[in-house]
A and B are shown apart, each in its own frame.
Chain A
Amino acid sequence: MTALQPFRKLDSRTAVLARADIDTDQIIPARYLKGTTRAGLGRWLFAGWRYDEQGRPRADFPLSRPEAHGAQVLVAGANFGCGSSREHAPWALLDYGFRAVVSSSIADIFRGNALKNGLLPVIVDPATHEILLASPGVRVSIDLESCTLAFGDARVSFAIDPFSRRCLLQGVDELGYLLEQGDAIAAYEKEQG
């Protein structure tokens, strides 16, 4: 029943998209939602910003810069992932190579979708957020056992739902847990008639 890649520790450089309110239409535009699988969406991650009108990569897009190459941690402006419920957004981020998104706030549906796919949403305090936004390419270490994020001499803790944390650490998905609730669900249905 394992459907997730377990998440324990991650050491990586960061890529930074400092804009606030990055909505899921920016993360992956709707015209790339016409598939029937999860595969290959990384190619269209931030497509509207990443490519020019002729479809060529823009050299000045932050993810195209050399220091962002291979980064597995995306640091983004506040309210990341607002807008539509498309799970294609975390699928695209993961397919591109990200394993964690760090911001001062993350929209509800996106956060839930990310957790279900092994993409760790890390919410840090505004001061730490400011420093990380201003330091693209900095090396960070994220430890889900201790719920800490460290970079340079700094070390901050972050909050995460204990249930989601356990699922991520063990690499188990929620569907398995829900399927185990079959008796309770049947009892509820019987009571409701």
Chain B
Amino acid sequence: MAQSEPRTLFGKLWDAHLVRPETDEAPAVLYVDLHLVHEVTSPQAFSVLRERGIGVRRPGRTLATMDHSTPTTPRPRGTKLVIEDRDCAAQLGALEANCAQFGVELHSLSSEQQGIVHVIGPELGLTQPGMTIVCGDSHTSTHGAFGAFAFGIGTSEVAHVLATQCLLQRRPRTLQVRVEGRPRPGVTAKDLILSIIGRIGIAGGTGHVIEYTGSAIRALSMEERMTVCNMSIEAGARAGCIAPDDVTFQYLAGRPRAPQGPDWDRALTRWLTLPGDPGAIYDRTVEIDGSAVEPTITFGTNPGMSVPIRGEVPDPGSATDVANRAALDRALRYMGLRPGQPLIGHPIDVVFIGSCTNARLEDLRAAASVLRGRKVAAGVRALVVPGSRQVKKAAEAEGLDRVFRDAGAEWREPGCSMCIGMNGDQVGRGQSAVSTSNRNFEGRQGPGARTFLASPLTAAAAAIAGAIADPRELLR
């Protein structure tokens, strides 16, 4: 390929994976380096392979875990795991049987590496710069934090990748979100991405891959970058990515599945060529002032409906168009909020600290920094669900589990848990929950559940206050 045109990070990722370039008549055939699989979106794909009598083309590039339907009920070491929900048990059993039949590595509930698919890929060092990574899960965008092209696919496409290691894709457009300025104390990566989504809208990224750039992004740790990329899909984007740098390489060095020795040196040489060339053109650019971002919380029923924590519930009457007004009206009714009401002090019933957005070690440390020596308010149920067994182990080694338990929070087994409520961890009808997860859609955390999305700091502050609270007051 001629090197005349400066290319973006995404442009390089795309070009390097073309088995066949796209034409007017046919999409590109794009090679997939890593295929992550979980129990909910894969059984029908394995059935397709069986119906057609074909195998998995690259079992070694495929990794399965159990996360969505798995119980997170605390289980003391040595006790036998019983999955009470018969459908969940059947789904987990199907994954086990499919992985055995097709030779796919599976991290089942007894594995020390089990956890949320988007937590274990990076933690094992499987997620690497320059890769194409897919999973039947929209939050696959998380892995873009490493400078990978990572995106969620449907079950038909899961079958395509299992069978051919390829996907048919049209090249998406690029959207640069440049964040300059140092975020203020108490403002986290979660606040940053919620405010970005609020700014560009939940369909603002449709048809695009977002690349996050700028000094505020460079200053983020890998775990924070994952939080940002994770929610790219909540802006409608297929994927989000961040150019790899020393932060990325330091995170990866020594991870079990990362390249070692001479392989590491070769990989590093390749990874250093990935950042966009000077002068590379994005289809669109949005600029955000990182120093102006406040702790941010959602008030409505999609992740774009957010305000600074000290803000008020917007008045639908002041909405710019009819559709917006109707959507706001409906959201406020569902959430039980009044226009103009301050968010601070709004009573809550549940706090959920977990999910592929915010269940890594740094997230748990942040929540623990607020909860240490304090108590969860009477009548509030607080769940802390680590993202993986490794995160759980590391948190326990630091004594974080004690901090949570002493505060009166539940310290649970890893999984998706209350983010999606498939495993029985649900918010009750009409109850309000401050959640560190990624979706506040109607019924997402349980039928009739009211979700306020926020950072681990804000969630922990809410647990103590029994109401929405500004975490900065507890950090002083």
Contacts and interface: CB of A to CB of B under 8 A. Distances in A.
Decide whether A and B are members of one complex: yes
Given A29-B443, A33-B40, A85-B153, A181 B326 contact: no
Interface in B139-158: 152-157
Given A108-B238, A109-B153, A178-B168, A26 B441 contact: yes
Interface in B417-471: 420-422, 429, 439, 441-444, 447-448
Contacts of A109: 138, 152-154, 233, 238
B19 A85 contact: no
A161 B164 CA distance: 22
B29 A36 contact: no
B271 to A, nearest CB: 16
A14 interface: no
A87 B156 contact: yes
Interface residues on B, range: 35 or more
Contacts of A173: 156
Interface in A11-46: 19-21, 23, 25-26, 29-31, 33-38
A131 interface: no
B294 interface: no
Contact of B91 (A34, A82, A179): A34
Contacts of A184: 19-20, 29
A36 B44 contact: yes
Interface centre among A19, A20, A83, A85 (most CB of B within 10 A): A85
A35 B20 CA distance: 35
B422 A33 contact: yes
Interface stretch (B201-209, B247-255, B388-396, B398-406): B201-209
Interface residues on A, range: 35 or more
B163 A175 contact: yes
A54 to B, nearest CB: 12
Interface stretch (A67-75, A112-120, A136-144, A147-155): A112-120
Contacts of B206: 79, 105, 107-108
Nearest to B169: A112
Given A105-B203, A181-B164, A87 B330 contact: no
A77 B165 CA distance: 35
Contact of B159 (A105, A175, A181): A175
B203 A25 contact: no
Interface stretch (B82-90, B216-224, B362-370, B372-380): B82-90
Interface in A164-193: 173-175, 177-179, 181-182, 184-185, 188-189, 192
A54 B340 CA distance: 33
Contact of A19 (B44, B166, B238, B327): B327
Interface string B21-51: 0001111010100000000110110011000
B85 A34 contact: yes
Contacts of B163: 175, 178-179
A173 B45 CA distance: 14
Contacts of A117: 156
Interface centre among A23, A35, A117, A177 (most CB of B within 10 A): A23
B441 A83 contact: yes
Nearest to A117: B156
A73 B388 CA distance: 43
Contacts of A21: 202-203, 302, 327
A66 interface: no
A117 B94 CA distance: 23
Contacts of B439: 23, 25, 83-84
Contacts of A36: 43-44, 47, 90-91, 94
A82 B236 contact: yes
A53 interface: yes
Nearest to B16: A192
Given A23-B302, A105-B203, A163-B25, A85 B327 contact: no
A161 B27 contact: yes
B127 interface: no
B115 to A, nearest CB: 19
Given A25-B439, A33-B422, A79-B203, A86 B156 contact: no
Contacts of B67: none
A83 B166 contact: no
Given A35-B87, A161-B27, A29 B447 contact: yes
A48 interface: yes
Given A30-B444, A36-B43, A85 B202 contact: no
Contacts of A182: 164
A38 B38 CA distance: 16
Nearest to A77: B323
A78 interface: yes
A86 B136 CA distance: 8
B202 A174 contact: no
Interface of A: 1, 19-21, 23, 25-26, 29-31, 33-38, 48, 53, 77-79, 82-87, 105, 107-109, 112-113, 116-117, 161-163, 173-175, 177-179, 181-182, 184-185, 188-189, 192
15 contacts: A20-B326, A21-B302, A34-B87, A38-B44, A53-B429, A53-B448, A85-B136, A108-B238, A109-B138, A116-B154, A161-B170, A163-B25, A163-B168, A178-B167, A181-B164
Given A26-B441, A105-B206, A109-B152, 17 more contacts: A20-B327, A29-B447, A34-B69, A34-B91, A35-B87, A35-B91, A48-B442, A78-B323, A79-B236, A85-B152, A108-B172, A108-B206, A161-B27, A163-B26, A163-B27, A178-B168, A179-B54
**Complex A-B, nearest 6 residue pairs according to Cβ-Cβ distance, in ascending order:** A34-B87, A36-B43, A113-B154, A87-B154, A85-B152, A116-B156
